[in-house]
Amino acid sequence: MTTTTLAADAAPSDRPTALGGWIKLFAYALAIVTAAELIGNVSFAVGHGKIILLPLLWALLMGAALGLASPRLPGALAVGTPLQNAASAILQPALLIFIARLGLLVGGSLPKILGAGWALVFQEFGHFFGTMVFGLPVALLLGIKREAIGATFSVGREPSLAIIGEKYGMDSPEGRGVLAEYLTGTVFGAVFIAVLAGLIASLGIFNPLALAMGAGVGSGSMMAAASGAIAAQQTPEMAKDVATFAAASNLITTTIGTYFTLFLSLPFTVWAYGVLEPVLGRGRAHAAPEAAPAPAPAPAPAAVPAEAPSLGFGELLLTWILVGLFGLIGNRLVYNTAPDAAVLAGMAIVVGVVVAGYGLYRLTARRLPAVVWVSLIGMVLTYPGTPFSAEVAALTGKINFLALATPILAFAGLSIAKDVPAFRRLGWRIVVVSFMANAGTFLGAALIAQFWMHPPL
- pLDDT per position as a tens digit, 414-436: 988 887 776 676 678 888 998 99
Phi, psi of 52 (to 5 degrees): -115, 125
End-to-end CA distance of the chain: 41
DSSP reduced 3-state for 53: strand
Give me the helices (H) in 261-369, please: 266-280, 313-333, 341-363
DSSP reduced 3-state for 49: strand
H or E element at residue 198: helix 190-203
Beta-carbon neighbour count of residue 237 at 10 Å? 8
pLDDT of residue 330: 92
Cα separation, 141 vs 432, whole angstroms: 11
List Cα–Cα distances, 428 to 122, 184, 242, 441, in angstroms: 33, 10, 33, 20
DSSP reduced 3-state for 275: helix
Phi, psi of 228 (to 5 degrees): -65, -40
Task: Give the dihedral sign, CA 82/87/88/90.
Answer: positive
Quick one: which of 420, 410, 347 has its CA closest to 94? 410
Largest CA distance in the chain: 68
CB contact at 8 A, 249 and 120: yes
Quick one: which of 57, 72, 60, 66 has its CA closest to 24? 66
Quick one: which of 79, 68, 92, 37 has its CA closest to 187? 68
Beta-carbon neighbour count of residue 282 at 10 Å? 8
H or E element at residue 88: helix 81-107
pLDDT of residue 3: 40
pLDDT tens for each residue of 116-175? 777 777 888 888 889 999 999 999 999 888 889 999 998 877 678 778 877 888 678 888
* DSSP letter assigned to residue 172: S
pLDDT of residue 347: 96
CB contact at 8 A, 114 and 235: no
Cα separation, 54 vs 198, whole angstroms: 10
Rg of the chain over Cα atoms, rounded to whole angstroms, equals 21
CB-based contacts of 56, cutoff 8 Å, min separation 6: 36, 190, 194, 224, 225, 228, 402, 405, 406, 408, 409
Quick one: which of 200, 199, 194 has its CA closest to 228? 194
Beta-carbon neighbour count of residue 263 at 10 Å? 10
pLDDT of residue 6: 54
Phi, psi of 298 (to 5 degrees): -125, 155
Quick one: which of 200, 226, 211 has its CA closest to 126? 211
pLDDT in tens, the chain (457 residues): 434 445 444 444 345 457 788 889 999 999 999 999 999 888 877 777 777 788 988 998 999 999 999 889 887 888 888 889 888 888 878 889 988 998 898 888 787 777 777 777 788 888 888 999 999 999 999 988 888 999 999 887 767 877 887 788 867 888 888 877 877 887 788 889 999 999 999 999 999 999 999 999 888 788 888 999 999 999 988 999 999 999 888 888 876 776 788 888 999 999 999 999 998 877 666 655 444 444 444 443 333 344 445 788 888 999 999 999 999 999 999 989 999 999 999 999 999 999 999 999 999 988 877 888 998 999 999 999 899 999 999 999 999 888 998 998 899 889 888 877 766 766 788 889 989 999 999 999 999 999 988 665 4
| pTM, rounded to two decimals | 0.75
